[in-house]
Amino acid sequence: MKITHDCGGEFTLPDYVPAIGKMLSAECIPSPEGVFLKDTDGRGIQAELGGVAVFRITYVPEDGGRIFGATVPCDYETSVMIGNVSGPVVCRASTSSENVFCRVTAPRKLQLRCRLGTTIMAASESEPPTPQGLGGDYEEKRGDAAVMAVFAADARDLLCSLDLSSLPESSSPVSCAASVNVTECRQSAAGEFRCRGEIAVSCLYEIDGNISTHAEKIPFDETVFADGGGYDGADGGSVRGCGRVDSAEIRRDDSGSRIEIVYSLSVEAAAAVPTAVIYDAYSCASPCEVVFDDVEYLTPVCCMTGNVSVNEKTQKSASGRVCGVTAQAVMTDAAYSDGRLRLSGELRGCALLECDGELGSTPFSIPWTYEPPASETAEADSAEAVAWGEVNVISLSARADGELAVDAELSVSATAAAKMKRRVVVEVSASGEKYPPRDGFTVYYPLAGESMWDIAKRFHVPTEEAARGGNAAPDGKPAPVVVI
């Protein structure tokens, strides 16, 4: 399900920030803090979620001069009922900004609002129940279900810094943005995961009255710990890692300028846990009543990471020089069919253009799609599946040649699970007097497709007894003639 909610409000700029003359661009980057589930006394499950949304604004000060960039954080929270269910096995929420409304009401007053879209994947499916009432007088037919188990781990408030000494002399940083690209994630020990990758940093700076961009990448190699141990590398399991930037601030002192970045890493491991289910039962001693239930549960399809290239001209007319570009990638849809996982979304951003000495901003929105190789996904018996994940921008550039052309590289990570349905036994109870002792024998000619189990159930005898005396062929199938 998807919900929309708002964040933002009226902001007054602090005294040390210059007053606004002309607003150039504004974007909102939400950092979700997770989702909290609360039972509402039988009325269902209520999901409460929230986090911090950071507005990044770029503007020309009131007194002219160089372009200025600032960040304005705000908290957001919302809650929603996710259905009349109990005990979800998996619940994930991903939040992205849909559009940003920006209005300057006074040189120091700003009205910023962002409409957020949150997709909640709440799996109320649970593993098949253990039946009640089965004892020595009952025969049961068992099978295995691959129930999905998800283990999560995270590492927060990781720090890194980028010295901007590589910028040209006499240049002045205006604003910066960063994103996390996890290129490798694997289990290093029980409850520990080693994540490697890079943080892509893009800096907008001014020099001699001109605006230019500077990009660098910072490698990282971190260990992420799971609470309570978690994933143990079971067969059929897979791991994915993703990260987000919590803050990226420009710091200036006597030694120069630098960008200080606070970021978080998270790991999700999905494993198929074999679970015995009972899907048929009967009594050998007395008539009985069997209660069935149609249960749903999840089984993992894949955890994967990959990159998406976006090289496309937009429908926006553009002329002049591109001084800078910012963008945010969102995942809008994930579908699984025919053994393939298909992801899609949008790259939403704004390009800063200079034409005849005037600065202006051009917003754009470009669709993207990604389909991982078949080797990274698993065949599932169910065509119905759910998926959730993250997408980040790891490189971005733009050019103006009559139209605005954008080149970007996106990092995608996703987990997919198939919805499985099965009819299982939840309770067996005696419903009458015991059967009288058998007298004589019965000659039975099995029907096509019948198994020894089916025959034993028909005559209410143990399966072993039904298979005696040559009633079963060497392969376990019934003989052409069965004597009970």
| CA dist 59 → 1, 56, 68, 148, 351 (Å) | 37, 10, 6, 49, 13
| Domain-located, residue 236 | no
Phi, psi of 456, rounded to the nearest 5 degrees: -60, -40
Distance between CA 466 and CA 470 in Å, rounded? 10
Average pLDDT over residues 452-461: 90
What are phi and psi for residue 298, nearest 5 degrees? -105, 145
What is the C-alpha to C-alpha distance for residues 297 and 123, in angstroms, rounded to an integer?
Answer: 8
What mean pLDDT do residues 330-352 have? 84
Residue 281 β-bridge partners: 140
- Identify the pLDDT of residue 419: 82
Tokens 């393939």, located at residue: 340
Residue with tokens 């139209």: 403
Q: Calculate mean pLDDT across residues 445-472.
A: 89
Name the pLDDT band for 236 (thresholds 50, 70, 90).
low
**pLDDT recorded at residue 378:** 59
How many CB atoms neighbour CB 135 within 10 A? 9
- What share of the chain in percent tops pLDDT 90? 15
What does the pLDDT read at residue 182?
Answer: 92
Does the pLDDT value for residue 420 go beyond 60?
yes
- CATH number, domain of 460, equals 3.10.350
Q: Has residue 62 been placed in a domain? A: yes
What is the per-residue pLDDT for 199?
Answer: 93
Q: Is residue 465 part of a domain?
A: yes
CA angle, 408 then 2 then 299, to 5°: 85
The pLDDT of 87-105, averaged and rounded, is: 81
| 301 is a domain residue | no
Residue 191 to residue 231: CA distance in whole angstroms: 6
The answer to the question of residue 355 being in a domain is no
pLDDT on residue 113 = 92
Query: Which one of 80, 105, 124 terminates a domain?
Result: 124
Q: Is residue 39 part of a domain?
A: yes
The predicted pLDDT at position 422 comes to 86
Report the pLDDT averaged over residues 208-234: 79
In whole numbers, what is the pLDDT of the chain averaged over residues? 84
Record the tokens describing residue 414, joined without a space.
């996703």
> Poorest-confidence range of 18-27, 85-94, 196-205?
85-94
CB 346 within 8 A of CB 332: yes
- Condensed to tens digits (0 to 9), the pLDDT of residues 282-337 reads 988 888 888 998 888 888 888 888 889 998 888 777 777 888 888 888 888 887 77
22 domain-assigned: yes
Of 408 and 94, which is predicted with more confidence? 408
In the numeric block, which tokens belong to residue 478? 């019934």
Domain stops at, among 124, 153, 178: 124
pLDDT at 230: 57
Each residue of 362-399: pLDDT tens digit?
888 899 999 887 656 655 555 577 888 889 898 888 88
Give the residue among 74, 47, 59, 52 at the shortest CA–CA distance from 19: 59
Is 252 inside any structural domain?
no
* Nearest by Cα to 389 from 411, 367, 361, 408: 411
Exposure string of 211-227, with b = 16+ CB inside 10 Å and e = fewer, is bbbbebebebebebebe
* Torsion sign over Cα 159, 152, 369, 124: negative
pLDDT at 377: 61
- Alpha-carbon distance of 39 to 46, in angstroms, equals 6
pLDDT in tens, 32-41: 887 888 877 7
pLDDT in the model for residue 204 = 85
Q: Regarding predicted confidence, which is higher, 12 or 271?
A: 12
- Res 114: pLDDT: 92
* pLDDT bracket for residue 430 (50, 70, 90): confident
Contacts of 117 (CB under 8 A, 6+ apart): 2, 3, 4, 95, 96, 97, 98, 330
Q: Which residue has the tokens 């052309």?
A: 405
Band of pLDDT at residue 84, cut at 50, 70 and 90: low
Count structural domains, the chain.
Answer: 2
* Range(s) of the domain holding residue 75: 1-124
**Of 102, 124, 146, which marks where a domain is finished?**
124
Backbone angle region of 333, left / alpha / beta, with phi > 0 → left and psi within -120 to 50 → alpha: beta
More confident residue, 369 or 124: 369
385 vs 265, more confident: 265
| pLDDT at position 165 over 70 | yes
Percent over 70 (pLDDT), the chain: 93
What is the pLDDT at residue 197?
93
